[in-house]
Amino acid sequence: MMVRIHMKFILFIASMLSSIGLFSSCSNNYQPKTDKKFEFRNMTEANQDIPNTNDTLEIATLGAGCFWCVEAVFQSLKGVYKVQSGYSGGNVKNPSYKEVCTGRTGHVEVVQVTFNPQVISFAQLLEVFFGTHDPTTLNRQGADEGTQYRSAIFYHSDEQKRLGELAIKAANESGNWSDPIVTEVTAFSNFYPAEDYHDNYYNLNEEQPYCRAVITPKMDKFKKKFAELLK
């Protein structure tokens, strides 16, 4: 029987591989088909009928691979007040990280983003979402493989659903990807916070081999690409 090895569990291997430049995960080596920035937020249709929220905060729940990477990205955005790593979309209550990593719980590693739509819109969050992971690989991001790493938007309102579907259409038409987008757009049903040691993971463990080899290069690219959205 084949045993699936998860790189995040075997960090000493990560250290060895990173030292010789071979360690790759969390889509670190992913390169889009073109260098053109996917600017969904600039589409007129994406921004229509957005209500006056009077600074009421909203929540977005997004899965884009390893939540250590995704958390670090969304924490850096202006208008974002909280980013919580956790698990969504599955049928197991209060799952552990170990259970989710088996790929048998149905859950996705997600981040739940609390944001001010007066400062950053859901459409802009989706631009960052599609610009920082590969939405064309089914149940995989780089070397991280399994249903828990699938690309997913769990919408909290009809408007989020509409914008999610519109973003996928725009992404498919952008020419940035050779393959079709496989991101799922699903109604939000549950969220279970991840264990405490996952919180603020990159900022607290920046020198850890996985972070140095995978997340730091990804963050460097992200900050250059989305400089106008950073805090």
Residues designated catalytic? 66
Strand (E) or helix (H) holding 80? strand 80-88
Considering only CA atoms, which of 104, 126, 131, 130 is closest in space to residue 115? 126
Asked whether the beta carbons of 187 and 157 are under 8 A apart, the reply is: no
Separation of alpha carbons 187 and 165, rounded Å: 12
Widest distance between CA atoms in the chain: 56
- Exposed, middle or buried: residue 20 (CB in 10 Å: 0-12, 13-18, 19+)? exposed
Strand (E) or helix (H) holding 124? helix 122-131
- Taking residue 183's Cβ as centre, other Cβ atoms within 10 Å add up to 25
How many Cα atoms occupy the beta-carbon half-sphere of 201 within 13 Å?
26
Considering only CA atoms, which of 19, 24, 21, 22 is closest in space to residue 7? 24
Q: Dihedrals φ, ψ of 35, to 5°?
A: -90, 5
